[in-house]
Structure 1
Amino acid sequence: MKITQVILKDLPEILRVEQMGFNQAEAGTETQYRQRIDKLAETFLVARSDGQVAGFVVGPAVKEQFVEDWMYQDTPTNLVTGGNQIIFTIAVDPKFQGQHVGTQLLQAIESKAQTSQRKIIALTSLEKNLPFYLKNDFVNQGAAESTHAGETWFNLVKKLY
């Protein structure tokens, strides 16, 4: 497994993996992912196995402590240093689940966040996925204010410093 920064050529595979992991209301659109590739290349990492996209993680480095719904529609620009690493999405192709791809992606984004002196990594998660994040040392901060896709989301945080 090799983890690298995203390239535009990855877009079709990213959309394929996204649509397998999220329902239509939850999933990002092609337009959103083009914007994320353009604005967040440094914090958009792709796991590859034999050249195939096995999974990805993406999100901006911002001053805000938690994911906010507006960020999904208008992708923020990454801070150069400091702030907090937000994760919009982490998704793994079902063929690669159970092979620690998600954990490797979290470790890779954490390493980038530490290098850039981020304070925390924050994300929102559905209840069914909480055990994965808790196993990866995130702390559940309770229900998020998000109304994304009409779901109940939970704020999770991992302190870096």
Structure 2
Amino acid sequence: MKIRMATMEDLEAIAAIELRCFPIEEAATEKDFKERLTVYPNYFWVMEDKGKIVSFVNGLVTDESILQDKMFEDAKMHDENGQWQMIFGVNTIPEYRRQGCAEAIINRVIYDARAQGRKGLVLTCKEKLLHYYEKFGFKNEGISQSTHGGAVWYDMRLTF
């Protein structure tokens, strides 16, 4: 398995994976991903197995310390010199889950953010995944103000 940065050629595969991993009301669209890949391609990691994308993580960089719903739709909120790496989604196709794919790609994102001098990473997750992100050092900051997709989210932060 290989982790690399996504390219525009990956757009269709990424959009299809997103729809397999998130309910339609929470999933980003192909248009959203196209904008993200245009504005901040260096913050869009994919994992491949024999040329097939099986997992990905993406998110902008900002000085904002809280992940806000508007960030999902407005890639222009990205600030190359921002202090916080936001994570919008951790996607792994079902047949590759529980094999360490998400763990490997999250560790790469953490490594890259630390190497870039960021203060840390921020994400939101559902209650059932709190323990998963805590194993990477993320701290639960409580129920998020996010109403993305109509779900209840928790703010999680990893500070270096």
Fold conserved between structures, TM > 0.5: yes
Deviations 1:21-57, CA, capped at 9 Å, x for gaps? 1000000011101001111211100000100001000
Q: Residue 54 of structure 2: SS of its match in structure 1?
A: strand
- 2:80 paired residue number: 80
Quote how far apart the aligned CAs of 1:131 are: 2.0
Q: What TM-score, normalized to structure 1? A: 0.95
SS at 2:55's partner residue? strand
CA distance in 2, matches of 1:129, 1:66: 18
Unaligned runs of 5+ in 1: none
| 8 Å Cα contact 1:62/1:76 also seen in 2 | no
Distance apart, 1:112 and its partner CA: 1.3
State how far apart, in whole Å, the 2-side matches of 1:80 and 1:148 are.
24
Task: Give the corresponding residue for 1:59.
Answer: 59
Partner of 1:5: 5
Q: Give 1:17-36 correspondences, 5 Å limit.
A: 17-36=17-36
CA distance in 2, matches of 1:128, 1:25: 19
CA contact (8 A) 1:82 1:119 kept: no
Compute the RMSD of aligned alpha carbons.
Answer: 1.2
1:101 paired to 2:93: no
Name the structure 1 match of 2:144.
144
2:50 maps to amino acid: D
Q: Quick one: distance in 1 between partners of 2:82 and 2:148?
A: 27
Task: Give 1:78 deviation, angstroms.
Answer: 3.8
Q: CA deviation at 1:76?
A: 3.3
1:92 offset after TM fit, Å?
A: 0.5
Give distance in 1, aligned partners of 2:72 and 2:80: 20
Residue range with higher mean Cα deviation, 124-133 or 62-71: 124-133
Aligned length: 160
Q: Is the 8 A contact 1:82 1:116 kept in 2?
A: no
Letter in 2 for 1:4: R
- Give the whole-Å Cα distance in 2 for the aligned partners of 1:87 and 1:10: 19
